Structure 1
Amino acid sequence: MLVAALLPLAQASAQQAPDVLVREVTNEVLEIVRADEALRAGEKHRVMELVDAKVLPHFDFRRMTMLAVGRDWRDASAEQQVRLTEAFRTLLVRTYSNALTQYRDQTVAFKPARFAATDKRVQVRTEVHQSGAQPIGIDYMLEQSEAGWKVFDVIVAGVSLVTTYRSSFADEVRSGGVEGLLKSLEAKNRSLEAEQQHS
């Protein structure tokens, strides 16, 4: 389900409307995956390169981390906020890279845009279709910034990525403080890295 969360977030003009950005880049990334045998074979290095080049520039990871950590964000020092953002970014990249290796000719349908040209925060709705399975709704929450449209949340089958992490992050902070959350995230990232190296 997470694979489609990767797809729409690649290089495109900051002047594009958010729905156009999602549509054009989704199609571009799907073409890359279909044409690249190493990606289809699940070669981890190639997958990470694709994510780094095509996905990361269009996420606002600081805002995503701030929303996921919630009110505990204010209790984190500036240095901890930087570390939290980097650790959460790494976790999402590794998770999505793993998901991308599961791509098997899914198709993405784009729902009609429901926002005004003057809106600064929008929801772009898509639906992922796969043979023999029910379609999965994947929606992107984007906000306009000086650097263009940036994704700050992904909603998979009606469930917000940010909200999902907020619950587990709050538990970590309650048991070990902000530093405990950091250690937990860093441990998860080391575990994912080890798994990917041995798969």
Structure 2
Amino acid sequence: MKLVKLFTQMTATFALLLSVSLSAAEVQKFTDPYEMISVVADQAFTRLAAEKDNIMADPELMRAMVNEELLPYIDVRYAAFRVIGNHIRNTTEEERDAFVIAFQEYMIATYAGTLTLYRDQQVIIAPSQDVGNRQIATVRARVIDPGKPDIVIEFKLRRARDSEYWQVFDMVAEGISLLDSKRAELAGMIRQQGLSRVTELLQERAKAPIEPAEPAEGD
């Protein structure tokens, strides 16, 4: 499978599984990471199937949907800090806060575009397991798309030391981490141009109009 195609499927699947038909005031919180992925996936398929035509007609609707429905289940700050990596010691609190906001908007735009690839795929979540007192958990899922090889996805979830609730911070498909790919994309720019400049670049990218994603070659 081509790398570009894999990343496209990863991003679309990630957004697909985590888009939930709940308003911000009604967001569910989960003490079981397996329950979280299962419930969210079930609701996501139902909603996306119902709204697919409207979203294809007006892709900007997807930005609002991702912003309202996806973000409550992602630990954006933790993911953003992972992207900054060791460069964080050379940044100020103000620079980090600005980057987190820009990174969030950038990811919203990324998910909004690739989520338009939804084509009624089926997702099978692995049976629940006891995670004990661990703060990091991995939930496996198998994406079934008729006529194509199954894709095994690993969702990485985290619960903070002061919380009992889980949030997603990364997804790994065929050994490739979505978070690591973003870190590889941005680390060089952060090192060479500084965090503030990269924040500006992400802000610019996030403002681009949402356009329906084109299926990868062979789809």
Please confirm whether the aligned pair reaches a TM-score higher than 0.5, indicating the same fold: yes
Q: Which residue of 2 aligns with 1:5?
A: 14
Q: What does residue range 1-199 of structure 1 map to in structure 2 within 5 Å? A: 1=9, 2-9=11-18, 10=20, 13-39=28-54, 41-145=56-160, 146=163, 148-190=165-207, 193-194=208-209, 196=211
Structure 1 residue 14: Cα displacement: 2.3
For residues 24-79 of structure 1, what are the alpha-carbon distances to aligned partners after superposition, in whole Å with 9 as ceiling and x for unaligned? 11010100111225445352233223212221001111100000110112212111
For residues 109-130 of structure 1, what are the alpha-carbon distances to aligned partners after superposition, in whole Å with 9 as ceiling and x for unaligned? 1123455233221001112111
Q: How big is the alpha-carbon RMSD for the aligned residues of Structure 1 and Structure 2?
A: 2.2
Residues 155 and 172 of structure 2 are in contact (CA less than 8 Å); yes or no, is this contact kept in structure 1? yes
Separation of aligned partners in 2, 1:125 and 1:57? 20
Q: Paired residues, what number?
A: 195
TM-score normalized with structure 2 length: 0.80
Residues 41 and 101 of structure 1 are in contact (CA less than 8 Å); yes or no, is this contact kept in structure 2? yes
Separation of aligned partners in 1, 2:98 and 2:55? 32
Unpaired runs of 5+ in structure 1?
A: none
For residues 114-147 of structure 1, what are the alpha-carbon distances to aligned partners after superposition, in whole Å with 9 as ceiling and x for unaligned? 5523322100111211122111222211112327
Percent identity at matched positions? Answer: 23
Q: Report the 3-state secondary structure (helix = DSSP H, G, I; strand = E; otherwise coil) of the residue aligned with 1:155.
A: strand
Separation of aligned partners in 1, 2:197 and 2:45? 38
**14-23 or 112-121: which moved more?**
112-121
Separation of aligned partners in 2, 1:184 and 1:45? 21
TM-score normalized with structure 1 length: 0.87
Separation of aligned partners in 2, 1:183 and 1:15? 34
Taking a change above 3 Å as real, the CA distance of residues 15 and 37 of structure 1, as seen in their structure-2 partners, is closer
Residues 103 and 199 of structure 2 are in contact (CA less than 8 Å); yes or no, is this contact kept in structure 1? no
Unpaired runs of 5+ in structure 2?
A: 1-8, 213-219
Residues 155 and 171 of structure 2 are in contact (CA less than 8 Å); yes or no, is this contact kept in structure 1? yes
Taking a change above 3 Å as real, the CA distance of residues 54 and 149 of structure 1, as seen in their structure-2 partners, is same
Runs of 4+ in 1 over 4 A off after TM superposition: none
Residues 8 and 21 of structure 1 are in contact (CA less than 8 Å); yes or no, is this contact kept in structure 2? no
Residues 127 and 135 of structure 1 are in contact (CA less than 8 Å); yes or no, is this contact kept in structure 2? yes
